[in-house]
Structure 1
């Protein structure tokens, strides 16, 4: 993330008197519970691209999120996956993914979540990732660490890729997806296990909570990665783009792990096409 002066989030209070933490978590939970109630009543489903779908529930979730956030802080800008950008304050912007892992959601596969984040001058500073099926709330805020259902969590202390359970996702850019597979082909069997999750949000949250040791994916829009960046860094991890540089939004790739395993991954993949200029995101 940007190494700019850190904003004081504690001075921000919504119209209801809630803190940023309270606003983000209550909004993510409300949207998640609404989505869960529509799990078997998804309505119209449209195809946006290969493996990329949107349901009526995505739109309803985003409308709920937008209404709640802008009711609390009406001057903040808002960026949602389905509705796009609503201008506002130049410094502060809400970012929302109403259902991350919609392909899983519509197929009744249990890896999906709701993500709501806050960015300051383009840098994510707080984020809530909520999994309503398991009632798990991952929350991170600049300077306050990362929690799972209010209990502190951290990345694992693995020092090499060989020790890691690796989570990954392919994304929707076909060329980048093939480069992701190329990484696995080059590194295998030099890891403990591989898990394709189908939700970048949960993949990054699981890394922050120590459920996977390393996570990477081919590309990410702001709504896909904003919350996860805060979670990983707050949990003591390192997260970067494919060059090992700070994450910008959007990003062509995300690589996250403990600092030591992250460095080892960069070393092992240095000559692979995944690490070279690709196009697509960013």
Structure 2
């Protein structure tokens, strides 16, 4: 169905595009003022510029691929192949001069992610991975940071290990005897990727959007970890023609599948609250 050259082209494109965009964004890092969108998230002129540039590059390199992006089109298209773009994941960090922010590109096949690339310019870290599931696709495998293979941790939870929260899940930390140390990075993709890299054992995201998760969904699984929804509906495959602009995805990341049920009792109430609020 696809050959090795296809995947080489995909990786080269994702790396070249995100690094080019990242180099431009570093010139504006910490220098722009954000405005609040209708959904409460922040946006700057840099987000919008990055979105346009990435979309233009995809259209030129892969004219038969669809695009769903945070700042432009939220409708999932009918193309077999579709890129999901987060032009700046971590806009608050970006505007406040905090160096954890990145550019996220996820490639979906028939509605499910099979490749992800996330570049953090200021940290000089670039993550990518391949995960084919039951798609029938074949190709390179594994997860990588700066070209080096990464794997999740096999450790058991302890107070010497990290569990990530998002800004809307801080109530988790108020529970006594939580089995890990708590951290907040402020960037959904980075929260998942440090689990993929073995630095954390898990994390919870309350209202992440599809562009926060598409790329890292492939990378975390390629690294040996997993993401599970905290709602009754599966995350993937996405539905053609559906608007994902206001659709939250409460989810739990773990370094291995067995830890999902260890962490779930501590965080399921976050998913229940989101489901009730948004009618999921």
Question: Would you call these one fold, judging by a TM-score over 0.5?
Answer: yes
The DSSP-based 3-state class of the residue aligned with 2:94 is helix
Indicate whether 1:55 and 2:49 are aligned: no
Provide the TM-score with structure 2 as the length reference: 0.83
The DSSP-based 3-state class of the residue aligned with 1:119 is strand
The DSSP-based 3-state class of the residue aligned with 2:79 is strand
Q: Which residue of 132, 148, 154 maps to 1:157?
A: 154
Indicate whether 1:19 and 2:9 are aligned: yes
Tell me by how many angstroms 1:52 deviates: 2.1
| Residue number in structure 1 paired with 2:190 | 202
Aligned length, in residue pairs: 261
The DSSP-based 3-state class of the residue aligned with 1:90 is coil
| Residue number in structure 2 paired with 1:4 | none
| C-alpha RMSD of matched pairs (Å) | 2.6
| Residue number in structure 2 paired with 1:100 | 89
Tell me by how many angstroms 1:136 deviates: 0.6
Indicate whether 1:81 and 2:70 are aligned: yes
Q: Which residue of 232, 253, 265 maps to 1:256?
A: 253
- For residues 245 and 8 of structure 1, what CA distance do their matches in structure 2 show? 30
How does 1:132-147 map onto structure 2 within 5 Å? 132-142=121-131, 144-147=141-144
Asked if structure 1 preserves the Cα contact closer than 8 Å seen for 2:104 and 2:117, the reply is yes
| Residue number in structure 2 paired with 1:118 | 107
Bigger mean CA offset, 107-116 vs 79-88:
79-88
Asked if structure 1 preserves the Cα contact closer than 8 Å seen for 2:157 and 2:201, the reply is no
Tell me by how many angstroms 1:220 deviates: 1.9
Q: Which residue of 214, 221, 226 maps to 1:226?
A: 214
Give unmatched runs, 5+ long, in structure 2. Answer: 133-140, 239-246
Tell me by how many angstroms 1:222 deviates: 1.4
Asked if structure 1 preserves the Cα contact closer than 8 Å seen for 2:68 and 2:85, the reply is yes
Give unmatched runs, 5+ long, in structure 1. Answer: 1-6, 171-176
Tell me by how many angstroms 1:209 deviates: 0.8
Provide the TM-score with structure 1 as the length reference: 0.82
Deviation per CA, 1:7-54, whole angstroms, max 9, x where unpaired?
7463637xxxx5111112221211111111221543x63221586211
| Residue number in structure 2 paired with 1:10 | 4
- For residues 17 and 202 of structure 2, what CA distance do their matches in structure 1 show? 29
Distance 1:87 1:9, change over 3 A: farther
| Residue number in structure 2 paired with 1:148 | 145
Indicate whether 1:34 and 2:24 are aligned: yes
Deviation per CA, 1:187-234, whole angstroms, max 9, x where unpaired?
x33333111111101111111111222111102211111011111101
Asked if structure 1 preserves the Cα contact closer than 8 Å seen for 2:152 and 2:225, the reply is yes
| Residue number in structure 1 paired with 2:263 | 265
